[in-house]
């Protein structure tokens, strides 16, 4: 088992640089089993969200794992519907209760629209109250970041992370510059391109994988790690869960890093700046449908 390196956030907290993502892992036991297995294999960082509808199973698995709560980093995310101040306060309490924990390690505003300043105020207060250790944002493009920053959103407290789509085809070069200037660490969602077969077939990646006796997934994740990005690949298969975290016993050369950097297409699957995204997301995920 490889020891996962730690990155330090701008608020001083220390986050495991690799974790396990549970987007699209079903409930009725599947998330519970996957998280229990991941922890057993050595993962110490789980990334969930209200809109994944599986916080409860994540919490149960953490509890039943036998590993101390403080040894496992838990991230969740507030959904757009709850950004009004009172709703946001309630959303934090609901996540704590569903996860069955006294505190969250990291809570993110999942989407950068709507009553963001009211939600951020609730987040800052929850951090001060010790309910959340670190707070951050997600899907924040440079355009949206600049807009919100100019409106003073981050005057009282800056986010510690920005979780965005990232893989060798979409390397977020402009955003990374802006985040570095603001000391905000990038987290990659879809670090494996969500299993994109074309990406896995890239000859440059296959060549590097052969050289190190690793698989392409490991080369991609290693590349992202060496770029200073936090990753939490998702898999429901034990062998992949195992191999996805086995990336800390080799190092890509600067030429290899450059050859992977050159795969960048500057465009991802999801464009948070596009018109109508907020409405599309609200209609796709109703986190209160069972209330």
- Nearer to ligand NDP by Cβ, of 73 and 232: the residue is 232
Binding residue count for ligand NDP, defined by CB under 6 A: 25
Determine if 67 is a binding residue for ligand NDP (CB under 6 A): no
Rounded CA-CA distance 89/69 in Å is 23
Tally the C-alpha atoms within 13 A of residue 126's C-alpha that lie toward its C-beta: 31
- Nearer to ligand NDP by Cβ, of 101 and 229: the residue is 229
DSSP, collapsed to helix, strand or coil, labels residue 108 as strand
Token representation of residue 171: 């390397």
Determine if 280 is a binding residue for ligand NDP (CB under 6 A): no
Q: Which residue lies nearest ligand NDP, judged by its C-beta?
A: 21
From 32, 43, 52, 83, active-site residue: 52
Binding string to ligand NDP for residues 1 to 40, with x set by CB under 6 A, is what?
A: --------------------xxx-----------------
Chain residues 202-231 in contact with ligand NDP, contact rule CB under 6 A:
217
- Nearer to ligand NDP by Cβ, of 129 and 201: the residue is 201
**What Cα–Cα distance (Å) separates residue 102 from each residue in 66, 95, 106, 195?**
17, 10, 13, 34
- Nearest 10 degrees: Cα torsion 222, 139, 9, 89: -140
Minimal distance in Å, beta carbon 25 to ligand NDP?
Answer: 7
Minimal distance in Å, beta carbon 189 to ligand NDP?
Answer: 3
- Nearer to ligand NDP by Cβ, of 73 and 155: the residue is 73
Determine if 192 is a binding residue for ligand NDP (CB under 6 A): yes
Residue span binding ligand NDP (CB under 6 A) among the ranges 53-61, 85-93, 175-183, 240-248: 240-248
DSSP, collapsed to helix, strand or coil, labels residue 16 as strand
For 31-78, the DSSP string reads HHHHHHHHHHHT--EEE--GGGT-HHHHHHHHHHT-S-GGGSEEEEEE
Minimal distance in Å, beta carbon 176 to ligand NDP?
Answer: 16
What does R_g of the chain's alpha carbons equal in angstroms?
18
Determine if 268 is a binding residue for ligand NDP (CB under 6 A): no
For 220-276, the DSSP string reads HHHHHHHTT-EE----SSHHHHHHHT--SS----HHHHHHHHTT--S--S--TTSTT
Determine if 236 is a binding residue for ligand NDP (CB under 6 A): yes
Rounded CA-CA distance 157/238 in Å is 39
Determine if 171 is a binding residue for ligand NDP (CB under 6 A): no
Rounded CA-CA distance 9/46 in Å is 17
Determine if 139 is a binding residue for ligand NDP (CB under 6 A): yes
- Nearer to ligand NDP by Cβ, of 182 and 194: the residue is 194
Q: Determine which residue in the list 134, 138, 162, 259 makes contact with ligand NDP, applying CB under 6 A.
A: 138
Q: Determine which residue in the list 16, 136, 191, 268 makes contact with ligand NDP, applying CB under 6 A.
A: 191
Rounded CA-CA distance 140/148 in Å is 10
Q: Is 83 a catalytic residue?
A: no
Active site residues: 52
The residues that touch ligand NDP, with contacts defined as CB under 6 A, are 21-23, 47, 110, 138-139, 163, 189-195, 217, 232-237, 240, 243-244
């Amino acid at each position: 088992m490889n020891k996962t390196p730690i990155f330090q956030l701008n608020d001083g907290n220390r986050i495991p640089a690799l974790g396990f993502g549970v987007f699209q892992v079903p409930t009725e036991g599947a998330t519970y089993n996957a998280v229990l297995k991941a922890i057993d294999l050595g993962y110490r960082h789980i990334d969930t969200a209200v809109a994944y509808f599986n916080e409860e199973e994540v919490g149960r698995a953490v509890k039943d794992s036998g590993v101390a709560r403080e040894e496992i980093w838990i991230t969740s995310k507030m959904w757009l519907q709850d950004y009004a101040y009172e709703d946001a306060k309630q959303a934090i309490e609901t996540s704590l209760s569903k996860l069955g924990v006294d505190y969250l390690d990291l809570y993110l505003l999942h989407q950068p629209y709507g009553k963001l300043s009211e939600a951020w105020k609730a987040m800052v207060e929850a951090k001060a109250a010790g309910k959340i250790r670190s707070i951050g944002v997600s899907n924040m493009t440079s355009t949206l970041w600049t807009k919100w920053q100019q409106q003073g959103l981050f005057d009282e407290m800056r986010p510690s992370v920005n979780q965005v789509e990232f893989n060798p085809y979409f390397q977020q070069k402009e955003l990374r510059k802006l985040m570095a200037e603001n000391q905000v660490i990038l987290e990659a969602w879809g670090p494996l391109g969500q299993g994109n077969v074309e990406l896995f077939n890239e000859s440059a990646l296959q060549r590097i994988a052969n050289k190190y006796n690793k698989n392409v997934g490991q080369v991609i994740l290693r590349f992202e790690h060496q770029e200073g990005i936090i990753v939490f690949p998702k898999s429901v298969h034990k062998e992949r869960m195992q191999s996805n975290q086995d990336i800390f016993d080799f190092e890509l050369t600067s030429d290899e890093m450059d050859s992977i950097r050159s795969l960048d297409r500057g465009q991802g699957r999801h464009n948070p700046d596009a018109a109508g995204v907020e409405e599309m997301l609200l209609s796709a995920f109703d986190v209160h449908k069972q209330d």
